Amino acid sequence: MRDRKIKVCYLRDTDKVCGPGKTMINTHRTIDQDAFSLTLCVTGGSEDGTNVFCESARKVGADVVHLKSGGFFDLGALLRLIKILKRRRIDILQTHDAQTRRLGVIASIVTGITHISSVHGWIETNQKRKMSVLLDKWLIRFSDKVIVMSEAMRAEIVSAGVPSDKVVTLYNAVLLDDYPIGDYSEEIRKEFGIAKDEKVIAFIGRLSGEKGPDVFIKAAYRIFKDYSNVRFLMVGDGPLRSSIEKSVDDLGLRSRVIFTGHRPEMAQIYAAIDILMISSFSEGLPNVLLEAFAYQRAVVSTRVGGVPEIISHGTSGFLVESGSVDGLVSHALLLLRNPEIAEMMGKNGRKFLEEELGFRKRTETLEALYRSIIIGHRPK
């Protein structure tokens, strides 16, 4: 009989509340506090550990530790991590990205602590990143378990040489308590000068190559030519912002496209939009898709990663092939001209979340995984 809580440490390189960051925080909020102790250890941000993620996690009472780390591999950070794991008597170390996996794999070997790799997807925009992905896929083989966000990612991990019995599919989820349905879009529309009768299509995410922001702008130009009473929001930031802004100016869309930058509070954004457009070339399972469902918004998305496992084409959204401007345009125009279809899809998306992807259900599955790992291990 185990006489103490199962102690889990999450390790991630972040300073923002992105999709995986939300998952980490919400796991703290929903996990059985009587049976589990969860530490959120992050390496991103300033040296004193003050960043948006840490502040957000501490606000909900999470145990947050900042691990100072820098460069491709920080030996000092590794030694500090080992010390943290031993001092806190951690049972399970769970890494959430390639940067921390390089530390976590060695730390788990040194300490004998069970290591779980959570894989949220990879970005391969240049040769350096491609080499980093190859290294990460090799390191993942040393994990005791691997959590993936979709069956598509599971297949990719297994093809990379990870035994299938090590891989567990655990879809992303949203905590629906945080997504009240209502019309509170007035403030955003006023802030950006959007008329009440104007439709709004949004791109929400990092402005980088794998997300296809250039494809979104090409689609926006075509949509505006056929349906003029529409505005476009680009919510997020990234390395391609200046080039995307130039494209907007070259196409004469400056009055139609609004760059909002990073927005920590997204409820009003979703309330103000009619359609979420995901133009990505690569995804794991994007949280923005689940959030759009939660707020009952219609979605037009490229058929990438785990997206087809969530969207039922024609029922809760539309799927098109990567890079297909024609597909994005035709389905967006259909929704703009038939708001009753958009409304139906939004409701179907919310219903799907309620029935299949509730966050508490996800956490219960995760708890069962942790318990199964601990069985057969002697308490420390």
Q: Looking at residue 377, what is its pLDDT?
A: 57
In angstroms, the CA 48 to CA 53 distance is: 13
Q: Looking at residue 46, what is its pLDDT?
A: 63
In angstroms, the CA 87 to CA 89 distance is: 5
Tokens at 364, concatenated:
């219960």
Q: Looking at residue 128, what is its pLDDT?
A: 73
In angstroms, the CA 380 to CA 377 distance is: 9
In angstroms, the CA 194 to CA 233 distance is: 10
Q: Looking at residue 378, what is its pLDDT?
A: 45
pTM of the model: 0.85
300 closest CA partner among 284, 281, 316, 282: 316
Beta-carbon contacts of 233 under 8 Å, excluding residues fewer than 6 positions away, are 192, 200, 201, 202, 203, 204, 257, 258, 260, 269, 272, 273
CATH topology of domain 176-356: Rossmann fold (3.40.50)
pLDDT means per 10 residues, the chain with 380 residues, are: 82 83 93 96 73 88 90 90 96 94 95 94 70 88 94 92 94 90 84 95 95 97 97 96 97 96 86 96 91 96 95 97 97 98 97 93 96 69
The CATH number of 6-173+358-374 is 3.40.50.2000
Q: Alpha carbon of 138 to those of 94, 203, 348: distances in Å?
A: 17, 33, 40
Question: What are the domain boundaries of the chain?
Answer: 6-173+358-374, 176-356
CA angle 51, 212, 138 (to 5 degrees): 65
Q: Looking at residue 69, what is its pLDDT?
A: 85
Q: Looking at residue 124, what is its pLDDT?
A: 62
Please write down the long-range contacts of 137-142, taking CB distance under 8 Å and 24 or more positions apart: 137/161, 139/98, 139/101, 139/102, 139/105, 140/101, 142/105, 142/108, 142/109, 142/115
Is there a common fold for 6-173+358-374 and 176-356? Answer: yes
